[in-house]
Structure 1
Amino acid sequence: MTSPSGSSAPRMSAVDQAVPAEPTRKRILIGTDTYPPDVNGAAYFTARLAEGLSARGNDVHVVCPSPDGPPRIERRNGVTLHRVRSASVLVHPTMRTALPLGLAGTLRRLLDRFAPHVIHAQGHFVIGRTLISAGRRNGTPVVLTNHFMPENLFHYAHVPGPLQGPTGGLAWRDFVRVMGTVDHVTTPTAKAARLLLDKGFGHPVEAVSCGIDLSRFHPRPERGAKARAMLGLPERETVMFVGRLDDEKRIDDMVRALPMIAKVRDAQLALVGTGSRRAALEQLAASLGVADRVRFLGFVPDDELPMAYQAADVFGIASIAELQSIATLEAMASGLPVVAADAMALPHLVDEDRNGYLYPPGDHGAFAHRVLSILESGPKRAAMAEASLEIARRHDHERSLARFEEIYDTVRPGVGIDRRRRRVAVSSGSPVVVERARARELTR
């Protein structure tokens, strides 16, 4: 691989090549165990966070796994990437993990040379955990954003159903222990924050939306036919899902609903993404007689994704393990009504009968009924599209970036969790800080 300048990438520790930071800029070090080219919500959020902070004038460095093994430095969209040595994750064919051997020393050297004002960890796995420990040792304040749910890992790790409860309990206890060592904890929604309290975390958790780039995702209704042609879709009403085709996404619900929808409307289901369930979903569609109406579009590059949403009439999501769902936000910003499973954080994005509908997870008949309610009413569809836009505007990523900058300014080294009492704000777009004593208040 070559650097942006065309020279050969270094094969030594990336940190040893680091250039001292400019003294007048806020220095932010982000640690993450997944980053593009990885395809998942946490990777995309972290890239947008890093690049957005850089565009706002901060000096941003990211520690992340190398996509092919050897370590190196890259400069991308204003962000310095320290790609550390990695190996394939045996249970997940498309992801890699940083190698623990030597990582602590690498990160200590990076902290010494870069001297960040703040560390922002995006999890508690190999890089996140090691960077949090390094930050604690040298007194650098640490912010942690949670993207973790054990349910998203059970399928890849082949954890049998009877063991998922105990395994999940152990995983949560480990995560709570790591969270207790940082200065400030955030997660994308109030629902996700309450989940951390329910799992035993005893300190405030702030809900800060992942955010959506409204300059990229917005309605272009005149381009619907062009978008369908670009994706090779027939001219039919289209229900779209964007994301991994994996077990916890419950895409079977939507495939099983399609025969009922197709009896009433000339509709199709478009699935954007790749994953381990594709072959099984193809077989399911064939067995139900709708193979020609379930369109597997595969991976769509990020720069083409805004156009892809224009091919749809309704966005569907059946997942039961979403802490926010960036894809749903993108669809809403693109002017789509939503039919979503009534699970985890998805109800935070769907205002029932206003911008879409919720349905009981697993009830594909209910999913079909909700979709038909939207497709059969042109005025309702238009009103729901407008409501989706209104809700999406509350999640403008510039507001999220500004809030993270405020958090960086308020954390201080060596003080542990910020235990000051905060007022609970639940108004649109306001940061939500959930404390154990207040959790019941927020559920009303």
Structure 2
Amino acid sequence: MIHSERPLSVLIASDTYPPDVNGAGYFTHRLAEGLAERGHRVHVVCPSERGEPYVRVNGRVTEHRLRSAPIPFQADMRAALPLGMGGHIARLLRRLDPDVVHIQSHFTLSRSVLRRARSVAVPVVLTNHFMPDNLYAHARVPHSMRRAAGAAAWRDMVRVAMAADHVTTPTPRAAALLREKGFAREVEAISCGIDLERFHPSTDRAGARARFGLPDRDTVVFVGRLDQEKRIDETIRALARIVPERDVQLVLAGTGQREDELRALAARLGVADRVFFLGFVPDEELPSVYAAGDAFAIAGVAELQSIATLEAMSTGLPVVAADAMALPHLVSEGHNGYLFPPGDDAVLAERLLTVLGPNREKLGEASREVALEHDHHRSLDRFERVYGRLRGWGAVGVAGERSLVA
């Protein structure tokens, strides 16, 4: 169903896109697919995952993959090469003549698309998923230089964002952070959204566990990269505190630079047989990972929203999360889970024991209710209205709408 007065032509630009495994890439893919399902003409420009450039029609979305090279110190991701990029994008804009461009970062490809779009008077929406903390480990930035590097990175991001016509970010906390870093214009909070039909409560928890070869016992789940900024070591330390008291296991779905360290830590703490590394789990199988769990734990302190937490909540899992960045927007103390002070694995262990207790089902039901507020159809509605307003289609915009998230 098309929600605007005529189909839109949208060019989405992103420096990361599946098969890259990260929240920004997944959001961009769901945005493109969702808009296309509504009848809009959607093109995505992004790095080629195999190096050489190519164009393909992937379902309803046309992907324009630019020539790329591996990102240093991050072998599983690639960046589009600057040489020839500007001309390629200029030709693409002339041929597609989009109503609007939606960029997903301030990095090389996205900023080149922004610059070229503005030169031909095509309005640009920028959605910020950026947190310097998520890049320090990958870029091998020494601890002594992170404050200065972070400040410089934010200045660069703000400078690029100021050239966009409309800026969004996933949560009110993320919007406030952007303003704190010097962005002097309006920022709109629009949730990344969640597919409530794909991620829903399951009655076959034992079957889901069997699918991944997991013992049928209380299960804490985490889905995401096994990298430094996710601080999964804290959850493993909390598990080690719990095991003497409770028959619990931890399931980690994802890959990353710290997997070997985390395996070694689990062995050192005597819980190697209680920590299960599932590795990369294809998107179509992710609902079963959450269905195998009794609770979701996330210890990261650099989450602008956390799509994985929303997916867990939509599945009906109570959540224990670090009291940092945007996670408190998703977790209401005692309602759908609990927060813990970042770095305090003793409190994390206590909170996990609480959510695995007799109120588990009630907490999980509350999680699902909170997730309903983040229905991705509502997010798509809002983006359609933003696009239409920028193109001057009065019938599309809704006056007075400010934010899609609580």
**TM-score after normalising by structure 2:** 0.96
Aligned to 1:162: 144
1:339-389 CA-to-partner distances (Å, cap 9, x unmatched) read 000010000000110000000000000000001012122xx1111011001
Tell me the CA shift for residue 392 of structure 1.
0.3
- Match status 1:256 vs 2:237: yes
Assess if the C-alpha contact under 8 Å between 1:32 and 1:122 holds in 2: yes
- Looking at structure 1, the residues matched to 178 and 391 of structure 2 have their Cα atoms a distance apart, in angstroms, of 23
User: Does 2:176 correspond to 1:194?
Assistant: yes
The match for 2:296 is: 315
In structure 2, the residue matched to 1:102 is 84
Aligned counterparts, 1:20-419, within 5 A: 25-221=7-203, 223-377=204-358, 380-412=359-391
Q: Distance in 2 between matches of 1:251 and 1:124?
A: 28
Q: Does the Cα contact within 8 Å between 1:107 and 1:134 map onto a contact in 2?
A: yes
Q: Which residue type is aligned with residue 350 of structure 1?
A: V
* 3-state SS in 1 of match to 2:135: helix
Determine what percentage of the aligned residue pairs are the same residue: 58
**Residues 378 and 404, structure 2, Cα contact 8 Å, conserved in 1:** no
TM-score (structure 1 length as normaliser): 0.87
Length, aligned pairs only: 396
Q: Alpha-carbon deviation of 1:91?
A: 2.0
Match of 2:404 in 1: 431
CA contact (8 A) 1:191 1:345 kept: yes
Q: Equivalents in 1 of 2:73, 2:33: separation in Å?
A: 30
Runs of 4+ in 1 over 2 A off after TM superposition: 422-425
2:395 aligned partner: none
CA RMSD of aligned residues (A): 1.4
- d(CA) in 2 for partners of 1:127, 1:351: 38
Counterpart AA for 1:139: A
Residue 431 of structure 1, CA deviation: 2.9
Deviations, residues 34-77 of structure 1 (Å, cap 9, x unaligned)? 00000111110000000000001100000000001111111112
CA contact (8 A) 1:183 1:412 kept: no
Read off the aligned partner of 1:153 and give its amino acid letter.
L
Counterpart contact for 1:270–1:296, Cα < 8 Å: yes
In the alignment, the residues of structure 2 paired with residue 424 and residue 98 of structure 1 have an alpha-carbon distance, to the nearest angstrom, of 36
Q: Is the partner of 2:317 in helix, strand or coil?
A: coil
- Please give the alpha-carbon distance, in whole angstroms, between the structure 2 residues aligned to 1:230 and 1:200: 48
What are the ranges of 5 or more consecutive residues in structure 1 without an aligned counterpart? Answer: 1-23, 414-421, 433-441
Aligned counterparts of 1:384 and 1:225: Cα–Cα separation in 2:
20
Question: Could you tell me which amino acid in structure 2 is paired with residue 244 of structure 1?
Answer: R
Opposite residue 245 of structure 2, the aligned amino acid is V
Query: What secondary structure is seen at the aligned counterpart in 2 of 1:264?
Result: coil
Cα pair 2:99 2:391 within 8 Å, conserved: no
User: Is the CA contact (8 Å cut-off) linking 2:11 and 2:44 kept in structure 1?
Assistant: yes
Q: Deviations over 1:244-275 (max 9, x none)?
A: 00000000110001121111110001000000
Q: Deviation of residue 423 (structure 1)?
A: 6.1
Q: Which amino acid aligns with 2:241?
A: M
CA distance in 1, matches of 2:404, 2:376: 13
Q: Distance in 1 between matches of 2:285 and 2:376?
A: 19
Query: How far apart, CA to CA, are the structure 2 residues paired with 1:386 and 1:376?
Result: 14
Q: Distance in 1 between matches of 2:11 and 2:93?
A: 9
* One-letter amino acid of the structure 2 residue matched with residue 35 of structure 1: Y
Alignment check: 8 A CA contact 1:193 1:206 kept: yes
Aligned to 1:263, what secondary structure does the other structure show? Answer: coil
Taking the aligned partners of 1:125 and 1:180, their CA distance within structure 2 comes to 14
